[in-house]
A and B are shown apart, each in its own frame.
Chain A
Amino acid sequence: MSQTATALIAEQWAVGVFVLAVLTLCVFTAGVASLLGGRSWGRAKSLPFESGVVGAGSARQRFSVKFYLVAMLFVIFDIEAVFLFGWAVAVREVGWSGFWGAAVFILILLAGLIYDSRVGALDWAPRRRPPGPAT
């Protein structure tokens, strides 16, 4: 029993060190910053800052439905990534037939991606300004 435990520790100690290093780094940066940083309070300090201009208006504005479209496309390609994840972990077992199957899978969805980009579904902005640079 202790033999297997020792073997487990010997195999996994690097992960433990990694986790410990991450935690130490986070605690160190947050703690030292809170100890060394100066503090000041004031009425203007609690105002939202926007390049020296006092903020105006409400944060609740209407968003274009196009952003929702981008989220939908993200879900679709996320599912494609899940299928490819299943293929990637078994790439040696399924061999060339699995490879060509995955290639056809990717090509079918690539056709959809090209269609979407040609139709303009991938443009973020609701309306494009005529001379505007591509952003």
Chain B
Amino acid sequence: MEVAFYLSGLVAVLATLRVVTSINPIHALLYLIVSLIAVAMVFFALGAPFAGALEVIIYAGAIMVLFVFVVMMLNLDEGVAAQERAWFKPRIWLGPAVLSAILLLVLVATLWRGDIGLVIEGETLTAKAVGTALFGPWLIVVELAAMLLLAALVTASHVGRSQSPDTRGDES
């Protein structure tokens, strides 16, 4: 399990690095999908299969569909790569890189001061346990999530409505 954890973690880090440095948006999206699947594998290795399945279904499945739709609508052409290359200058990426390096230093220092004998392991939390908890004591939260999704459905239908109201009766 430790090997699986470190290997998929390495894949996630490398793929995310390529997401940032990729010039072509579609290539960046493909690397982002690989990165999300690697994170799902990390969840599986840590013993959380439900979180891993969630990662694959929602992030690698649904959210990436949204991203691909956005890229499709942006109508990217040949000029995009040149523009990206022009934007990809040290002056632009130095600030975020330095700030992320500070965060990395904090993380490494925290890990260093902590217990060095910790290993990658944990109780496996099965999907059945999650479902039992979700539809047992946390049932109200599920219904609240349904309300939230209902609000999202209604909002989405209004966002997507065309500017000029159609002449035909909508409320037939």
Q: Is the CB of B53 within 8 A of A85?
A: yes
Nearest CB of A to B66, in Å: 5
Q: Is the CB of A94 within 8 A of B69?
A: no
Q: Mark A49-80, 1 if CB is under 8 A from B, else 0.
A: 00000000000111101111101111110111
Q: Kindly state the separation between the CA atoms of A63 and B131 in the bound complex, as whole angstroms.
A: 40
The binding surface of chain B is classed by DSSP as: helix
Task: Check if B142 is an interface residue, CB within 8 A of chain A.
Answer: yes
Q: Is the CB of B70 within 8 A of A69?
A: no
Q: Is the CB of B146 within 8 A of A109?
A: yes
Stretch of B6-14, B16-24, B34-42, B56-64 that contacts chain A: B56-64
Task: Check if A31 is an interface residue, CB within 8 A of chain B.
Answer: no
Stretch of B25-33, B94-102, B110-118, B154-162 that contacts chain A: B154-162
Interface, chain A (partner B; CB < 8 A): 60-63, 65-69, 71-76, 78-83, 85-91, 93-94, 97-98, 101-102, 104-105, 108-109, 111-113, 115-116, 118-121, 126-128, 130
> Can you show 17 pairs from A to B with CB atoms below 8 A apart?
A65-B73, A67-B73, A68-B70, A68-B160, A78-B62, A85-B127, A85-B131, A86-B127, A86-B131, A90-B130, A93-B131, A105-B142, A108-B146, A112-B154, A116-B154, A119-B157, A120-B161
Interface, chain B (partner A; CB < 8 A): 50, 53-54, 57-58, 61-63, 65-66, 69-70, 72-73, 75, 77, 126-132, 134-136, 139, 142-143, 145-147, 149-150, 152-154, 156-157, 159-162, 166, 168, 170-172
